[in-house]
Structure 1
Amino acid sequence: MKMSRKKIAILVAGLLIVAGIVVQAVWRPFAHRKATDTGEIVLDIHHPDAVIDSEALSRLPRDMLRVPLLHDVLTQDFVDYYESANTRLSAEGALRRLAFEHQLDWREELVRRVFDEPAHVLLWRSPDGRLGYWIMSMRRNGLARLLQGLGNVAASDAQLSQLAKLSGDVPVYALKLAAGRTLLFAAKDDRLVVLSAPGVLLDEKGGLLSERADAVSDMLSSGRDDAARAYHLDAPGDAPKGHRLVVSANYLSFGYQAFFSGIDALRFDFSSDGNPTANWRTTALIEPGKLPQQWNSADLWRVLPANPAACTSLPADWKEASALLGKVADGSDSAAAIGDHLTGPAAVCWYAKSTLVAPVFVARVKTQDAASIAALKGALGKTFGDVIGAYEAKAAKADGNDSDYRRLPVTTREKGADVTVWQRAVSARSGTALSSKASFASQLSAERYFPVTLALAHGYVIFSPDARLVDDTLAVLDKRYPALADTLAPQRLPRTILTLKPSAAAALIEREAGAALPADQEAVFRNASRTHLVPKLRALARYPSVSLTLPQNLPDSTGWVPVEWWFDRAKGDESSDSAATQAPADQPGTEGD
């Protein structure tokens, strides 16, 4: 049956609506943002924050649930979420209206065809931190040819309009879904490119941004872009097999790339090839030249206390980190010089006895000679006094000067020749200690406070907002407390980059959720947490401890290296952390034998 131009336009509009829903549903489905169409959007068109290549976007959420841990934690709700998302519901309403008004019966076929098509998606972070901006490129298998003659319809349609033309007189159309929500799209031959917002391609005056326009033109002509070069990937073919997800380390670290020097991105690949037991594989994009001491973390695991909820090694760039600390300390030379005394990776760990906002950080000191230690001690003490602390309305006035920025004093303790500890109490609602139990309770401004603590001990710098974690780490150094290394396989210590104990992590998250949702203030959300969150945390808690490791030998140049997942099978009690015989699992969720 021959379709009229108007029906063709409506069909294409529906396709674009559904395509937009797919991306929003696949990535961060539980996040929301207020979308706006005004102004150029800031992004690097040559280096997206994430890349998705999928044989069929409709299968991506379900294939993610092949990871047993994700299957138990996310359950079927994750797959079905897009059915009840606001964007999905409003789009379905629009599709029903179009179908009713124009006697069209293509809704289910439309959804199936769009969701089952191969897609290449580039994503960038939006101001709220989520991956809210995207460009999706698809081969429409001849369907895009239906766009011929669309210009006549766009000239008289309130919802559909032509905004610009790319090179070769390729028109760019805007489809307005709702107030503040507009998709752009362009088609050439059998290729279709969809953009999440006008600002991805247009400036404030509606003109084409030349660099981005060239990139979109290349996508339409060849299906290629710069993402493959940026992430050292093989360019995706027209029909990718399975799924490939790439996320930059800069995005995952919230921009603190200085603490992740040498690791550029994480990659997750899924290719079933008809194998029902196939699963995901994890790799990391490594720059060996930037890795401190080849990312050997063995010394850190020997210092950190046992039984963490989670620990990760950070291949820190101490020069960049020092510059960042110097800015925080208003250009202090002492702060900027601290990084000169540190070496190797750092580590950060969370423990169930503390809170999510109070992990412990550990880093190694470069040299142990007396002069260097004295210089570092002076820099640490000054920087700690300058940076740590907040205004305390009830704190004692310094020398009777009313204009002083009042903070509680820094206490300094020398625990032997090699151990110095600095501490300052900071009032905070989410603090880890009760103010009523402190000897200086009358000077605190809240019911709780952080005993923020810094230590220089036996060649290590230790810091935490919770003094208990620093004390435990000092006890490990003094051989009075078991170390994390005692629970990990010795042969894998140097290359272990992350370790997680699900039972401890679940207990920590459950307690934190309860504290954030007081029964007398957040009864509705607290009940929702008990109904939906707690059962999933209990499911998570049943999993054994897991560690991630890199290969023993890293490449000489930048490239992708496999990340191995190791699941402990403790002997005896499930809560035991004693190391057991482990076997590698090159994908998450598969226990070693």
Structure 2
Amino acid sequence: MKMSRKKMAILSVGLLIVAGVIVQAVWRPFGHRKAVENGAIVLDIHHPDAVIDSEALSRLPRDIVRVPLLRDVLTQDFVDYYETDTTRLSAEGALRRLAFEHELDWRDELVRRVFDEPAHVLLWRSPDGRLGYWLLSIHRNGLAKLLQGLGNVATSDTQLSQVAKLPGDVPVYALKLAVGRTLLFVAKDERLVVLSAPGVLLDDKGAVLGERADAVADMLSSGRDDAARAYRLDAAGDAVKGHRLVISANYLSFGYQAFFSGIDALRFDFATDSTTASAPNANAAASWKTWALIDPGKLPQQWNSTDLWHALPARPAACASLPADWHDASALLAKIIDGGAQGAAALGEQLAGPAAVCWYAKSTLLAPVFVARVKPLDATASAALKTTLGKTFSDSIGAYEAKAALHDGMTAGYRRLPVTMHQQGTDVTVWQRPVSARSGTALASKASFATELSAERYFPVTLALAHDYLIFSPDGGLVDDTLAVLGKRYPALADTLAPERLPRTILTLTPSSAAALIEREAGAALPADQEAVFRNAARTHLVPKLHALAHYPPVSLTLPQNLPSSTGWVPVEWWFERAQRAAGSTEGVAGALSGSDGLRAPDQPGAGDD
């Protein structure tokens, strides 16, 4: 039966609903918000926080779980979760309502066709810290005629309306969803752009924002935007085989880019060795490859982390090297110390090379240990540095302690426990201050100053200057372990890594230690007498996956030995440490996160009992 123009228009509305909900359905952690945004949203249309290019967004979750480690940890629940998301279901309900009221025989093939379209997605962070704002661009492959009657439909439907026009009199439509969300979409010729909220394109009066309107108009005309230039990618209009995910280091670092200088973004590419015109071969070899966008001119000491791995204790749950810009980092410190910019700059000038941060199963997620190198100093400069460190530690560390007694130099208005300083030989100086906290790493009852603490637990916050290293942690025990490594009394992390990879190793993970840490932290956050339901859910769903993770060998990420002379993408290799380093072997298995050849966890019961 030949469709009328009106029915074709309604069908196009269904197409747009489905297209608009792709990102919300597949990327719910990025897109869900409780309320409709009013007014212009703050974002840089030319530099998104993340970019997704995909042959078919519907296949992306399933391709992610083709990574053996992720498949064992996430399982099929990861895919099913997104397919049953409430936002997607509500949008499908709106689609069915439109189809019913306009007597349209809508079929599921429409959803499959839109979900299988090549898509280009730009994402920006929202106030809650997630990638909550997005723009989706797709090529509609011959469906343009379905939009001819869209204007007539918009005048007669309560959910669909025309709200603005782009240059060239291209109409902008708004679609209100049942859950209180409004999508914008605009189409021209063979291209369609969908926006997650009115404020991405419109101001608080409903007028288009000029710069963003021009950017959307360019997308409709050419399918291209500035994201490719911002991240030094192939143009957005170029076909991507499989999937490509790019995310800015600024977003990943929560805005603390000063500790990640020289890293602009991370990229994850997925491709299969064999694809057909309509769908990928399920049996074909597939892999995810990791890349980093590096600006070598900003990397401290060419991001050589060898010294750090020789100083840190072995078997961390996770450990990362940070190519810190100490000049910029000093500006952050200047905001909290009495010396201001001058005092902070004096400290920053004494630090060199990258820093490292590590978590250990024996401590908590709230108490990692930080290590940085100090430039070689003469006796006078070393004494000045110790004085500055002691004052900075005393000024910036500590909280009000209601039960604390008055100590030397303390006023009655703001009581804190005193800072203790002691020497361990000629080359080691340690400062420590106890800070009361319910989530602290030490029991107050075992402390000699228990009567002065305001909680049942506390953090023994510790800073040490030792052997040209600066060491800090809220857990003094980790500082002690690090000092033991420097004193050759405890095995170093470097002893468990291949010597030839030490300079370029940027992250290492011990799954068994990480799983133990996460399981214990989840238990502490969900006490049985207060969170019985969530605790039971964690035991049922989280713990088995952590036990599966625990069976994987340690893994480390490395950069190439030779970095480019200018900004560009460099490959990041994943090394699974199969051999026992304690036996003196330096063997490892390198490669992409492979879906066919990758390392699989052995079929064994979970580690440990519930």
Q: Could you state the TM-score of these two structures normalised by the residue count of structure 2? A: 0.93
Task: Give the whole-Å Cα distance in 2 for the aligned partners of 1:168 and 1:479.
Answer: 72
Alpha carbons of structure 1 residues 591 and 566: separation in structure 2 relative to 1, 3 Å: farther
- Listed as ranges, the matches of 1:340-351 within 5 Å are 340-351=349-360
Which SS does the other structure have where 1:363 is aligned?
Answer: strand
Shift of 1:89: 2.0
Please list, as runs of the form range in 1=range in 2, the aligned pairs for 1:350-369 lying within 5 A after superposition: 350-369=359-378
The equivalent of 2:464 in structure 1 is: 455
Decide whether aligned partners of structure 1 residues 406 and 578 sit closer, same or farther in structure 2, where only a CA change above 3 A counts.
Answer: farther
Match of 2:311 among 303, 311, 315: 303
Structure 1 30/393 Cα, relative in aligned 2: closer, same or farther at 3 Å?
same
Shift of 1:32: 4.3
1:585 match: 591
Q: Give how far 1:395 is off.
A: 0.9
Name the residue aligned to 1:429: 438
Counterpart position of 1:207: 207
| Aligned residue type for 1:447 | E
Task: State the Cα deviation string for residues 354-400 of structure 1 (Å, max 9, x = none).
Answer: 00010000000022222222222122111111111111111113579
Contact 2:10 2:153 in 1 (8 A): no
Deviations 1:99-120 (A, max 9, x none): 3333333241111011000000
Deviations 1:498-546 (A, max 9, x none): 0000000000000000000000000000000001100110111111100
What's the counterpart of residue 99 of structure 1? 99
Question: For 1:112 and 1:105, how far apart are their aligned partners in 2?
Answer: 16
Q: Which moved more, 1:552-561 or 1:79-88?
A: 79-88
- What is the aligned partner in structure 2 of residue 319 from structure 1? 327
Instruction: Give the deviation of 1:577 after TM superposition.
Output: 8.9
* 2:31 paired with 1:25: no
Contact 1:124 1:132 in 2 (8 A): yes
Cα distance, 1:179 vs structure 2: 5.5
Counterpart in the other structure of 1:129: 129
RMSD value, Cα: 1.9
Quick one: which amino acid aligns to residue 287 of structure 1? D
Give the match for residue 280 of structure 1. 288
Distance 2:68 2:462 in 1: 39
Q: Find the aligned partners of 1:76 and 1:496 in 2 and give their Cα distance.
A: 32
| Contact 1:454–1:464, Cα closer than 8 Å, also in 2 | yes
Identify the match of residue 537 of structure 2 among 524, 528, 551.
528
Q: Tell me whether 1:329 sits opposite 2:337 in the alignment.
A: yes
Rounded Cα–Cα distance in structure 1 between residues aligned with 2:459 and 2:6: 65
User: Secondary structure at 1:327's aligned position in 2?
Assistant: coil
Point out the more displaced range, 89-98 or 292-301: 89-98
Q: Tell me the equivalent position of 2:59.
A: 59
Q: How far apart, in 1, do the equivalents of 2:491 and 2:28 lie? A: 39
Instruction: Measure the CA separation in 1 of the matches of 2:244 and 2:446.
Output: 53
Partner of 1:47: 47
Q: Deviations over 1:389-421 (max 9, x none)?
A: 111111113579875211111111111111110
Distance, in Å, in 1 between the alignment partners of 2:203 and 2:50 is: 23
Please say if residues 334 and 380 of structure 1, whose CA atoms lie closer than 8 Å, have aligned partners that are also in contact: no
Partner of 2:252: 252
- Indicate the SS of the match to 1:368: coil
Question: Which amino acid in the other structure matches residue 114 of structure 1?
Answer: V
Residue 528 (structure 2) aligns with: 519
Number of residues of Structure 1 aligned to a counterpart in Structure 2 = 590
Q: Which moved more, 1:466-475 or 1:160-169?
A: 160-169
Cα shift at 1:592? 7.4
Encode CA deviations 1:220-252: one digit per residue, 9 max, x unaligned.
000000000000011133542111000000111
Q: What is the distance in 1 between the residues matched to 2:592 and 2:169?
A: 48
Q: For 1:554, give the aligned amino acid.
A: L
Q: Structure 1 residues 399-408 or 389-398, which shifts more?
A: 399-408
Residue type of the partner of 1:508?
Answer: L
CA distance 1:29–1:184, shift in 2 (3 Å):
same
1: CA distance, partners of 2:592 / 2:409: 64
- Residue in structure 2 matched with residue 80 of structure 1 by the alignment: 80
Aligned residue number for residue 143 of structure 1 = 143
CA distance in structure 2 between the aligned counterparts of 1:199 and 1:476, rounded to whole angstroms: 54
- Pick the aligned partner of 1:508 from 508, 514, 517: 517
TM-fit CA distance, 1:163: 1.0
Per-residue deviation at 1:429? 0.8
Structure 1 residue ranges without an equivalent (≥5):
none
CA drift of 1:26 comes to: 2.9
User: Is the CA contact 1:381–1:422 (under 8 Å) kept in the aligned structure 2?
Assistant: yes
How many percent of aligned residue pairs carry the same amino acid?
Answer: 79
Report the alpha carbon displacement of residue 219 of structure 1 after superposing the two structures with TM.
0.2
* Deviation (angstroms), 1:318: 0.3
For residues 478 and 541 of structure 2, what CA distance do their matches in structure 1 show? 31
2:455 pairs, out of 446, 453, 456, with: 446
Q: Is the 8 A contact 2:9 2:148 kept in 1?
A: no
- Report deviation, 1:12: 2.7
| 2:499 maps to 1:493 | no
Letter paired with 1:201: L
SS state at 1:413 partner: strand
**Partner AA of 2:400 in structure 1:** Y
Name the counterpart of 1:552. 561
Helix, strand or coil for the counterpart of 2:349?
A: helix
1:289-300 correspondence runs (5 A): 289-300=297-308
Report the AA paired with residue 583 of structure 1. Answer: V
What secondary structure is seen at the aligned counterpart in 2 of 1:163? strand
CA–CA separation in structure 1 for the residues paired with 2:29 and 2:396: 38
Contact 2:313–2:491 (CA<8 Å) still a contact in 1?
A: yes
Instruction: Give the Å deviation of 1:4.
Output: 3.5
**Shift in Å, 1:28:** 5.0
Q: What secondary structure sits across from 1:563 in the alignment? A: strand
Could you tell me which residue of structure 1 aligns to residue 607 of structure 2? none
- Pairwise CA distance, 1:195: 0.3
**Structure 1 residues 205, 578: CA separation in 2 closer, same or farther (over 3 Å shift)?**
farther
Q: Distance in 2 between matches of 1:334 and 1:37?
A: 43
Task: Give 1:578 deviation, angstroms.
Answer: 6.4
SS at 2:175 equivalent = strand
In structure 1, how many angstroms separate the alpha carbons of the residues matched to 2:156 and 2:125?
35
Check whether the contact 1:56–1:116 (CA below 8 A) recurs between aligned residues.
yes
Per-residue CA shift, 1:123-153, capped at 9, x if unaligned?
A: 0011111111000100001213321232222
- The structure-2 alpha-carbon separation of the partners of 1:162 and 1:439, relative to structure 1 and needing over 3 Å to count, comes to same
The residue aligned with 1:113 is 113
Quote the residue 1:393 is aligned against. Answer: 402
Contact between 2:24 and 2:32, CA under 8 Å: does it hold in 1? no
Matched with 1:338 is: 347
Q: Which amino acid in structure 1 is aligned with residue 235 of structure 2?
A: A
Q: CA deviation at 1:90?
A: 1.3
State the AA in 1 paired with 2:211: E
Q: Name the CA distance, whole Å, in 2 between partners of 1:412 and 1:79.
A: 54
Any conservation in 2 of the 1:307–1:577 contact (CA below 8 Å)? no
CA distance in 2 between counterparts of 1:69 and 1:9 reads 45
Work out whether residues 5 and 153 of structure 1, in 8 Å CA contact, stay in contact via their aligned partners in 2: no
Aligned equivalent of 2:548: 539
Deviations 1:46-76 (A, max 9, x none): 1000000000111111111111111111111
Task: Identify if the C-alpha distance between structure 1 residues 229 and 294 changes in structure 2 by more than 3 Å, giving closer, same or farther.
Answer: same
One of 542, 563, 575 as aligned partner of 2:572: 563
**Amino acid in structure 1 at the alignment position of 2:173:** Y
Contact 1:54-1:244 at 8 Å conserved across structures: yes
